[in-house]
């Protein structure tokens, strides 16, 4: 739903329009969802995440480790001698709090994940091991609406 942070319902795509609305950049679609709690009613709007169903190997870094330099997105990488270098990266979506890096980093790169304000390119830093782990999406507060009850204006 539009007021939820996560995607709590699953369904299947039933219809997609064959054109993009040039004013909003959206494509109309229709999905079929189960509604056992009768929370959903006709005319409600929501956001959806559509996946291809295929799994993809991806390099994930904390979103906070990515910086913006004018129009570029960069990540700070630490070399073996402790020197910091800036690498331009191409990004993908955020998945469980981690940013997908499509290009610009290798799996063996050591990136700065904390203290990015203190680590400037060309400086030497002392490294400490860190942990990169997904974060659970915050759950929306429970609805106060009465399930199954509705009133209609005439």
Query: DSSP readout, 36-67?
Result: TT----TT---------S-----EEEEGGGEE
Domain locations in the chain as residue ranges: 1-50, 59-111
- DSSP conformational letter for 146: P
Measured from the Cβ of residue 111, the count of other Cβ atoms closer than 10 Å reads 20
35-52 tens-digit pLDDT: 888 888 887 877 777 776
How many residues does this entry show for the chain? 154
Q: What is the pLDDT of residue 67?
A: 92
pLDDT of res. 104: 94
Q: Provide the whole-model pTM.
A: 0.58
Give pLDDT, residue 60.
Answer: 92
- CA distance linking residue 24 with residue 22, whole number of Å: 6
Q: pLDDT digit string (tens) for 14-41?
A: 888 888 888 888 888 888 888 888 888 8
Tokens at 14, concatenated: 């039933």
* pLDDT value for 137: 57
Q: Strands, DSSP E only, in 10-125?
A: 11-16, 29-33, 59-62, 66-69, 72-78, 84-88, 90-95, 98-103, 110-111
User: What is the model's pLDDT at position 109?
Assistant: 92
The CB density around residue 63, as the number of other CB atoms within 10 Å, is 14
> Which residues of the chain fall below pLDDT 50?
138-154
Decide yes or no: CATH 3.90.79.10 for domain 59-111: no
CA distance linking residue 130 with residue 134, whole number of Å: 13
């Amino acid at each position: 739903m539009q007021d939820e942070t996560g995607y709590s319902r699953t369904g299947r795509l039933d219809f997609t329009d064959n054109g993009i609305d040039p004013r909003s950049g959206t494509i109309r679609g229709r999905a079929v969802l189960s509604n056992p709690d009768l929370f959903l009613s006709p005319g409600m709007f929501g956001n959806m995440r559509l996946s291809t169903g295929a799994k993809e190997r991806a390099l994930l870094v904390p979103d906070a480790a990515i910086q913006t330099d004018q129009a570029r997105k960069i990540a700070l990488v630490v070399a073996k001698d402790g020197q910091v270098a800036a690498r331009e990266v191409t990004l993908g979506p955020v998945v469980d709090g981690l940013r997908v890096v499509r290009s610009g980093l290798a799996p063996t790169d050591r990136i700065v994940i904390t203290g990015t304000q203190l680590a400037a390119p060309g400086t030497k830093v002392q490294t400490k091991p860190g942990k990169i782990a997904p974060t659970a999406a915050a759950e929306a507060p429970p609805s106060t609406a009465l399930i199954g009850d509705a009133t209609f204006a005439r």
